[in-house]
Amino acid sequence: MFDGFELMWCEGDGVRLRVRRGGDGPAVLLLHGHPRTHVTWHRVAPLLAAAGHTVVCPDLRGYGRSAKPPTDPRHRPYSKRAMAGDCLTLMRGLGHERFAVVGHDRGAYVASRLALDHPEAVAALSVLDAVPIAEALRRCDATFAARWWHWFFLGQTDKPAERVIDADPDAWYRATPEHMGAEAYDDFRRAVHDPATVHAMCEDYRAGLGIDREHDEADRREGRRIACPLQVLWAADDDMGDLYGDVPGVWRDWAAGHLEGGPIDSGHHMAEEAPEQLAAALAEFWRSGRRWA
């Protein structure tokens, strides 16, 4: 995997991240979702590097082999603001003051928080299979609760989900080496069999139901929007369209400028299932930057 990429460890503000970097050119940061690691990008990252980009893929705080700091009662160490801060420190440490960001699933919340909190750093934002956390919770209905019940299960503290997941991680997180690739599957399985990682991933969801929503709602009240061009992509074979209909439309009130988007012909894990189509859509979005002025 990741031929020509360097595997490194980067530390900032006391949080150590496992990072993969390769390519040369304008920088792009790829942020994975739950329960994956940065290795989910192993089919996309080389395509973007070949298209002329420096590609940086970290394990987010709490995921994979990155640091898992102690939590607090408000789950602030696992807020998307804290994770976005890690990403900004990482990219600046690598010499990238301004860069594109792509986030999938939970990584999309980190990516959008990075764009909202640090607009000077984010040149373009692509969110994959996500709407803002505050929007998802505000629009929550019986259909959302039935399909995305894991948000509320993983977010519990009185009856923590970790005990259920740790009893049989393979049964809970159903994935196959045929689907992911053998090496990617091995990396994924190592992560989900680590109780510290499972706990940190649950903390991510606990933060999502509380402090992350508070941050989103504060942005809404204060009129903060995503300043950079925004691309919204979703998996045609997943349920974003069923839940929200006009998915880019959900983001319209959050975007200050250019907004575009469309479906990718895949299931939820589009970087693994449709890497060529996804890489092409991202590259075209960045190439079209001359239209955004």
With CA atoms as reference, report the closest residue to 55 among 85, 86, 30: 30
Determine how many CB atoms are found less than 10 A away from the CB of residue 204: 26
Residue range 65-111, pLDDT digits in tens: 999 999 999 999 999 999 999 999 999 999 999 999 999 999 999 99
pLDDT, residue 159, reads: 87
Q: Who's near 263: CB < 8 A, 6+ residues apart?
A: 233, 234, 235, 236, 241
Report strand pairing: 54-58 vs 15-22: antiparallel
Residue range 12-71, pLDDT digits in tens: 778 999 999 999 999 999 999 999 999 999 999 999 999 999 999 999 999 999 999 999
Residue range 171-222, pLDDT digits in tens: 999 999 998 999 999 999 999 999 999 999 999 999 999 999 999 999 999 9
Determine how many CB atoms are found less than 10 A away from the CB of residue 226: 23
pLDDT, residue 290, reads: 55
List residues with catalytic annotation: 105, 268
Residue range 125-182, pLDDT digits in tens: 999 999 999 999 999 999 999 999 999 999 999 889 999 999 999 999 999 999 899 9
Q: What is the pTM of this model?
A: 0.97
Three-class SS of residue 230? strand
pLDDT, residue 288, reads: 79
Is pLDDT of 255 > 50? Answer: yes
Radius of gyration (C-alpha) of the chain in whole angstroms? 18
Return the CATH number of 6-291, one of 3.40.50.150, 3.40.50.300, 3.40.50.1820, 3.40.47.10: 3.40.50.1820
Is pLDDT of 292 > 50? Answer: no
β-strand partners of 262? 233
Domain boundary assignment for the chain: 6-291
Mean local confidence (pLDDT), 122-127: 97
- Determine which helix (DSSP H) or strand (DSSP E) holds 56, and give its type and residue range: strand 54-58
Is pLDDT of 247 > 70? Answer: yes
pLDDT, residue 293, reads: 39
pLDDT, residue 229, reads: 96
pLDDT, residue 158, reads: 86
Contact 81, 215 (CB under 8 A): yes
With CA atoms as reference, report the closest residue to 56 among 64, 65, 44, 67: 44
